[in-house]
């Protein structure tokens, strides 16, 4: 834990440096010209935003982990049942999907940083169309204007990161994919008999929160676009991305397996609590014998 806290402290210091580095990119002589507006590099803006999200996520994850471990230690019988369910191979697909989905939420938020840095929300202010088409013309999305190489080998990535039209399209695609994946995961938790049997109640509640914030975030994003990015709506949309990521981490803390060191401590506490709890840990009905995490610890074999 000390190493984690040190790492988070280092991230906070690095975040301060990135903030200065970002602001510096907008300090130019032409700011003294009447009517000029400060502009910062979208690359530095996203680097600053991404580090802030990572630092926040690290602090939140550690806090959630501490709270979960405390709950497990204060209710051993409930911890045995939950650990057995989380260790069941039938829940593996849900766990992997929720982990991948948390990463997708983060990537979508970072693409939103490029939209903000390029003022890409001020063009194509309709949805789901972009102008009178589903997507703009290819010559607009992949314009030679943004390429800085004679052979245009940087055409694709420079347009993706510097062309407002493509930046907005990328964000739309990522946001739609994220929302669809969340709805699919929610549907799986309801329609799959195995998921209904194995998913802990706390995980199901967290998944409802994820779906709710996803719906709110999509609504905020579309509304922000239609109303030409007013500052209150834009700020709410950015805050919504952090709230959605927070609930993805809450879902993860209730669905992913705890640290192996904590499992060893839990097994020791179970063994000390009496033979009944030890037998329950060894013979949990939710877990195949080969995957019973408690069997790995001799303290429960006595």
Domain-wise residue ranges, the chain:
44-257
How many CA within 13 A on the CB side of residue 257?
18
For 204, other C-beta atoms within 10 Å of its C-beta total 17
> SS3 breakdown of the chain: % helix, strand, coil, rounded to 5?
80, 0, 20
The pLDDT assigned to 83 comes to 83
Indicate the range of 50-54, 70-74, 195-199, 209-213 predicted with least confidence. Answer: 70-74
Range with the poorest average pLDDT among 115-129, 265-279, 288-302: 288-302
What confidence score (pLDDT) does residue 302 get? 45
Residue range 81-115, pLDDT digits in tens: 888 888 889 999 999 999 999 999 999 999 999 99
Distances from the Cα of 200 to the Cα of 186, 188, 219, angstroms: 14, 14, 29
Q: What is the pLDDT of residue 125?
A: 96
Q: Of 33 and 22, which is predicted with more confidence? A: 22
pLDDT at site 112: 98
Q: Tokens at residue 263, please?
A: 């499992």
Pair 163, 138: CB distance under 8 Å: no
Q: Does the CA dihedral 190-193-199-200 come out positive or negative? A: positive
Of 100, 150, 122, 87, whose CA–CA distance to 229 is shortest?
122
Of the listed ranges 1-10, 31-40, 68-77, 251-260, the one predicted with least confidence: 31-40
Structure tokens at 10: 């280092």
The pLDDT, as a whole number, for residue 264 is: 79
Residue 120 has pLDDT above 90, yes or no: yes
pLDDT surpassing 50 at residue 298: no
pLDDT recorded at residue 73: 85
Does residue 188 carry a pLDDT above 90? yes
Percent of the chain with pLDDT over 70: 89
Residue 102 tokens, joined: 């948390």
H/E run at residue 166: helix 164-191
pLDDT of residue 291: 47
Question: Average pLDDT of 47-73?
Answer: 95
The per-residue pLDDT for 33 is: 74
pLDDT averaged over every residue in the chain: 89
- C-alpha span between 146 and 163 (Å, rounded): 7
Q: 248-252, 260-264, 286-290 — which is least confidently predicted?
A: 286-290
At 259 the pLDDT is 82
Least confident piece of the model among 68-82, 130-144, 244-258: 68-82
pLDDT of residue 280: 59
Residue 288 has pLDDT above 50, yes or no: no
> Which pLDDT value is given to residue 276?
62
Mean pLDDT of 137-150: 95
Tokens of 8: 């988070």
**Mean pLDDT on 173-189:** 98
36 Cβ contact list (under 8 Å, min separation 6): 30
Q: Across-strand partners of 130?
A: 133
pLDDT reading at 294 higher than 70: no
Of residues 263 and 165, more confidence is placed in 165
pLDDT digits (tens, 9 = 90+) for 7-22: 999 999 999 999 999 9
């Amino acid at each position: 834990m000390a190493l984690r806290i040190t790492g988070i402290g280092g991230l906070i210091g690095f975040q301060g440096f990135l903030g200065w580095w970002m602001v510096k990119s907008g300090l130019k002589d032409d700011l003294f010209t009447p009517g000029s507006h400060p502009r910062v590099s979208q690359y530095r803006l996203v680097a600053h935003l991404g580090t802030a999200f990572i630092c926040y996520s690290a602090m939140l994850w550690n806090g959630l982990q501490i709270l979960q471990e405390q709950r497990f230690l204060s209710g051993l019988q409930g911890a045995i049942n939950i650990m057995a369910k989380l260790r069941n191979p039938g829940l593996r697909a849900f766990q992997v999907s929720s982990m991948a989905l948390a990463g997708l939420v983060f990537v979508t938020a970072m693409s939103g940083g490029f939209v903000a840095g390029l003022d890409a929300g001020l063009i194509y202010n309709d949805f789901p169309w972009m102008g009178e088409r589903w997507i703009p013309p290819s010559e607009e999305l992949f314009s030679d204007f943004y390429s800085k190489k004679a052979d245009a080998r940087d055409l694709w990535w420079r347009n993706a990161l510097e062309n407002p039209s493509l930046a907005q399209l990328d964000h739309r695609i990522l946001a739609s994919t994220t929302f669809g994946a969340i709805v699919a995961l929610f549907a799986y938790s309801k329609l799959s008999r195995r998921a209904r049997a194995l998913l802990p109640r706390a995980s199901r509640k967290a998944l409802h929160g994820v779906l709710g914030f996803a719906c709110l975030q999509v609504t905020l994003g579309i509304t922000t676009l239609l109303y030409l990015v007013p500052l209150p709506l834009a700020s709410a949309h950015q805050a919504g991305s952090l709230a959605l990521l927070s609930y993805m981490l809450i879902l993860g803390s209730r669905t992913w397996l705890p640290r192996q060191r904590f499992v060893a401590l839990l097994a020791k506490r179970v063994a000390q609590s009496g033979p009944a709890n030890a037998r329950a840990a060894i013979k949990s009905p939710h877990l195949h014998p080969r995957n019973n995490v408690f069997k790995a610890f001799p303290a429960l074999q006595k």
